[in-house]
Structure 1
């Protein structure tokens, strides 16, 4: 006689055959990295594209502002194009901002090292 009350053992992590529509999809293993994650190469590529766009805009700016202007600074005088004068002023502002930011970062790191002791 056969025992009809006995059931076939099915592992709990295996879904029933009827519950899986279409092709069976497997989840990536836990050690596999996400294929769509952000990588250093991708970030560098985005940076290169942004840099190229800024250079094109800068070239357009320089080509449209070629009128000569007189610049005087601490007694020195000279004639340069308007674009060059504006770019020099922007670079000076950027340099001052970088110096102030670097000093603040240095100050915070020094304070952090002192508090860690």
Structure 2
């Protein structure tokens, strides 16, 4: 089999090296996003964990029994448990009221009336 001769061609220098991209005059540098949904979720999770840790510490430090009276019922329960139940009750009331308000705003938006209009 015949051997091919080695190539003795010199590298060509007809191309220019690639440099950094040139911006148009007056263009501003790209800015970093201030926040994303993922970063907001991560922040919310971190804050939730901190609140949970504080709640657990509170419950461990307040285990003494207290007398509770509600709607004619009487009894004793740990202070932390009674406050936790009261807090959950308030949270449920807030969720119900907020859900009703969101439903009202959605109905108003679907009806085409401006939100500032009075009946």
Match in the other structure for 2:109: 112
Deviates more, 1:70-79 or 1:35-44: 35-44
Among 65, 84, 88, the residue aligned to 1:87: 84
Q: Which has the higher helix share?
A: 1
Within-5 A mapping of 1:62-81: 62-81=59-78
User: Where does structure 2 lack aligned partners over 5 or more consecutive residues?
Assistant: 1-18, 24-29, 114-119
Q: TM-score, normalised to structure 2's length?
A: 0.60
User: Where does structure 1 lack aligned partners over 5 or more consecutive residues?
Assistant: 1-22, 28-32
Cα offset for 1:47?
Answer: 1.7
Match in the other structure for 1:16: none
Q: Tell me how many residue pairs correspond in the alignment.
A: 89
RMSD: 2.6
